[in-house]
């Protein structure tokens, strides 16, 4: 089987390594940078991301997107959310009419409110052959073969089962779901909560604060998933609580570490220049805020992060506004909650 991995950042590299170790699977990676493609082909390592991760000999790279996708038996999209539509559109002509594709990018498109799987569907057609994967998957740990798990969501059970078989391994367990909306929404929203947790940690706040932000963030995610037509119980699974814990507590989480740096005065531009990483939560807080307003869902944590990052409101004023909110029932706005 030949898999095309569209993206060569940390997550793309970790996934290409994982798939390349499977029996009878060869991987072609698409890299935007010729330097990255050369390093992968000549030294079997990505010179820019996860530099110590050894890639299998069957993993190759190219800067030619059409060549990467042409003839592939499966396609994995793992580019930043801000570039996904452009990349999907450029790959559409080379993608086989029925070739299954899976989206690992996490986010919600600003302006349209489209989930990442729907962004790809808009451009490549045949939405029934698409799936998405999400979960507590810090790329560096996947590249070190540390035990982990993810959930794969697809509207077609056959497609879900296909990708479950492709990704599942002894140390990387995969579970199935038909709640594409819930899985995708959780994958985007948890990054916003992680930024909030990073800010709190950077300000010297304690574990109680982190736990409060994660659980209130989870409630916010559940309201948004329900209003979008998903199952709020999905938020209790790998794409929700699982990913939330990993992203909100690990210094290896780019969203958490950005939040920590932001609390010390670092800007998004400075963080990007220092780490060469995209902070998905920076963009997601804007699109989730738009979506929540359209669906009439209360999203105080998302609004607070947006005000800090995009409106440059002071930390003191933002924290004060959150704590001055009128007290409510704990699980308000969630079906079945009492």
**What are the φ/ψ torsions at residue 164 (nearest 5 degrees)?**
-60, -45
Q: Residue range 52-66: average pLDDT?
A: 95
- Provide the pLDDT confidence category of residue 21 given band limits of 50, 70 and 90: very high
- Provide the pLDDT confidence category of residue 255 given band limits of 50, 70 and 90: very high
Q: Where are the beta strands (DSSP E) in the chain?
A: 2-6, 26-30, 59-62, 74-77, 101-103, 130-134, 148-154, 172-177
- pLDDT tens digit sequence for 127-177: 999 999 999 999 999 999 999 999 999 999 999 999 999 999 999 999 999
Active site residues: 190
Residue 236: the pLDDT is 95
**Residue 337: pLDDT over 80:** no
**Residue 69: pLDDT over 80:** yes
Q: Residue range 71-89: average pLDDT?
A: 96
Mean pLDDT of the chain: 95
Write the CATH number of the domain with boundaries 185-323.
Answer: 1.10.1040.10
CB 132, CB 119: distance < 8 Å: no
By CB atoms closer than 10 A (0-12, 13-18, 19+), residue 137 is: buried
**Rounded-to-integer distance, Cα 149 and Cα 164, Å:** 11
Nearest CA among 92, 97, 86, 179 for reference residue 131? 179
Q: Residue range 112-123: average pLDDT?
A: 95
- Model's pTM, two decimal places? 0.94
**Residue 338: pLDDT over 70:** no
**Residue 312: pLDDT over 70:** yes
Residue 254: the pLDDT is 92
Which of 14-28, 180-194, 211-225, 320-334 is least confident?
A: 320-334
Residue 202: the pLDDT is 95
Angle at 57 between CA 52 and CA 60, to 5 degrees: 85
- The residue ranking higher by pLDDT, 328 or 7, is 7
- pLDDT tens digit sequence for 31-56: 999 999 999 999 999 999 999 999 99
Indicate if 185-323 has the same CATH topology as 2-178: no
**Rounded-to-integer distance, Cα 267 and Cα 274, Å:** 11
- Provide the pLDDT confidence category of residue 77 given band limits of 50, 70 and 90: very high
Q: Residue ranges of the domains in the chain? A: 2-178, 185-323
**Residue 309: pLDDT over 80:** yes
CB 200, CB 210: distance < 8 Å: yes
Dihedral, 325, 198, 8, 306 alpha carbons, nearest 10: 30
- Provide the pLDDT confidence category of residue 333 given band limits of 50, 70 and 90: confident
Q: Quick one: what percent of the chain has pLDDT higher than 90?
A: 91
- pLDDT tens digit sequence for 261-298: 999 999 999 999 999 888 989 999 999 999 999 999 99
Residue 84: the pLDDT is 96
Which CATH architecture fits 2-178? 3-Layer(aba) Sandwich (3.40)
């Amino acid at each position: 089987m030949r898999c095309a991995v569209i993206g060569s950042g940390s997550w793309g590299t970790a996934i290409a390594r994982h798939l390349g170790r499977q029996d009878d699977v060869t991987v072609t990676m698409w890299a935007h940078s010729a330097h990255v493609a050369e390093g992968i082909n000549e030294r079997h390592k990505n010179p820019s991301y996860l530099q110590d991760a050894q890639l299998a000999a069957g993993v190759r790279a190219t800067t030619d997107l059409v060549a990467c996708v042409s003839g592939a038996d499966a396609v994995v999209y793992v580019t930043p959310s801000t570039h996904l539509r452009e990349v999907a559109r450029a790959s559409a002509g080379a993608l086989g009419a029925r070739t299954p594709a899976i989206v690992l990018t996490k986010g919600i498109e600003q302006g349209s409110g489209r989930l990442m799987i729907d962004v790809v569907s808009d451009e490549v057609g045949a939405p029934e052959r698409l799936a998405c994967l999400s979960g507590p998957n810090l790329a560096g740990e996947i590249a070190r073969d540390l035990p982990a798990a993810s959930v794969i969501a697809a509207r077609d059970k056959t497609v879900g089962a296909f990708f479950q078989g492709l990704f599942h391994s002894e140390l990387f367990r995969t579970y199935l779901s038909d709640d594409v909306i819930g899985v995708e929404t959780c994958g985007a929203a948890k990054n916003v909560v992680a930024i909030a947790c990073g800010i709190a940690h950077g300000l010297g706040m304690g574990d109680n604060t982190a736990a409060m932000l994660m659980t209130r963030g989870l409630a916010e995610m559940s309201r948004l998933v329900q209003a979008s037509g998903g199952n709020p119980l999905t938020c209790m699974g790998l794409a929700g609580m699982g990913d939330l814990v990993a992203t909100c507590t690990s210094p290896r989480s780019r969203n958490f570490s950005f939040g920590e740096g932001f609390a010390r005065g670092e800007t998004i531009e400075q963080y990007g220049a220092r780490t060469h990483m995209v902070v998905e939560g920076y963009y997601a807080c804007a699109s989730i805020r738009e979506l929540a307003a359209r669906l009439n869902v209360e999203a105080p944590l998302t609004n607070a992060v947006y005000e800090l990052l995009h409106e440059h409101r002071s930390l003191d004023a933002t924290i004060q506004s959150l704590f001055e909110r009128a007290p409510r029932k704990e699980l308000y706005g969630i079906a079945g909650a009492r």
